[in-house]
Amino acid sequence: MFNRRHFLSTAASLTVAPLALSSLARAKAPSDRVTLGFIGVGTMGRGHLGRFLGNDEVEVVAVCDVVQERLDNAAAMVSDRYSERTKSGEYRGVRKFGDFRELLALEGLDAVVIATPDHWHTIPCILAARAGKHIYCEKPLTHNIAEGRTLVNEINKAKVVFQTGSQQRSEFGGHFRKAVEAIWNGRIGDVKRVRIGVGGPAKPCDLPTEEIPPGTDWDFWVGPAPMRGYNEILCPKGVHKHFPQWRAYQEFGGGAIADMGAHHFDIAQWALKMDTSGPTKIIPPEDQKAENGLRFIYANGVEMIHNAFEGDAKADCVFEGTEGMILVSRNGISSRPGKILEEPLPEDAQHVMSSSNHHKNWLEGMRDGSTCICPAEVGHRSATICHLGNIGYRVRRELTWDPIAEKFAGDDQANSHLSRQPREKWRIA
């Protein structure tokens, strides 16, 4: 997929002339606000936008979307929030773009929040990194494994601060953080098995073609994916409040196993201290039509099972060890026996990074140059689990995975699923 020579020439052709920010964004002192641009302002992007608009440390200066109604709505959100500054002459409006490359060309822009569909994560991330912008990108971080390694390499080269939108590491009552710390400190003994409760794999898109609504740049929405006709299930009309089902289709997303799986597999990798590695075996269920029960086996023998539970021991993440079990979900945490979580950790206990606000953790990284709680490498490795699961269900046979080389051993067919050629106009690395 990625050819560096072709990328360099293509990236040069995509360069646009620098644009100027408003006077408020240029004159950040004394508040020293971080100037933000938003790429993708659908339901998830709008949620991020609302939270950042309530943070006085940042100044939202630009928004971008391929649907005009969503673009106008996001700009109105910003203007409404900053309207009290208009009389003083400080605020001159937010910039609107249909092409994220024009947003990235803004002079004085510090960082971007990317909340596009999965197939549109990698290219904006790479071009943002090359433009020197700090990046917050939604999960799952990539559409395929090869994209992930290229993205990580570009982020490392650019030395920008990167946060993957795996908010469970910071938020949701701290339940997942508590689970990870308990496991790190041996409260369930040696971990033997992890069960992850998420939905099934992605499927090929078979939706009928519908008329493209006015104000929607459908060609841009499809972007690097194979071209197909418009359907409202993929790209809803106007300003919607639900999460569109492009997630279900392998051309654009990774199915439910990648959507929520990017959260829950991420917690499992964290607890297992496998943030920069992964399993070595992928074993699909014996039932060739089953969409649950796939097993990931790590080199140390730990087994992680997709959506297969025993009895009433069911949660987003279930950790089974030699001395007990921890069950953790967004709405709570419990253990069997209960005393596992009742006793405080010792003074010399291992602790996760301090973070109770995922956005703030990213902003702190920009301020002091520290690594975020879910940097690009970690986001890539968590997304890789989702991709491996999809590939396992697709080929329906046991696979041997090398987490260092990031290839399957002796299996050309399985390796063919590691990358995808983008459409010609978007062949950049």
Tens-digit pLDDT profile for residues 66-111: 999 999 999 999 999 998 777 766 677 899 999 999 999 999 999 9
Q: Which residues contact 117 (CB under 8 A, 6 or more apart)?
A: 40, 221, 244, 246, 247, 252, 253
Distance of CA 416 to the CA centre of its chain: 23
Cross-strand pairs, 334: 327
**pLDDT at residue number 120:** 98
Of the ranges 25-29, 173-177, 397-401, 424-428, which one carries the lowest mean pLDDT score?
Answer: 25-29
pLDDT at 20 over 70: no
d(CA 41, CA 47): 8
Q: Give the global pTM.
A: 0.93
Token pair for 350: 């291992």
Of the candidates 153, 202, 385, which has an alpha carbon nearest to the alpha carbon of residue 280? Answer: 385
d(CA 323, CA 374): 29
pLDDT at 2 over 50: no
**pLDDT at residue number 429:** 59
Tens-digit pLDDT profile for residues 353-384: 999 999 999 999 999 999 999 999 999 999 99
**pLDDT at residue number 90:** 67
Neighbours of 391 (CB within 10 A): 24
Tens-digit pLDDT profile for residues 99-141: 999 999 999 999 999 999 999 999 999 999 999 999 999 999 9
Token pair for 105: 């060309």
Tens-digit pLDDT profile for residues 242-279: 999 999 999 999 999 999 999 999 999 999 999 999 99
d(CA 46, CA 74): 7
**pLDDT at residue number 83:** 86
DSSP state of 116: -
**pLDDT at residue number 31:** 52
Of the candidates 41, 76, 69, 65, which has an alpha carbon nearest to the alpha carbon of residue 215? Answer: 69
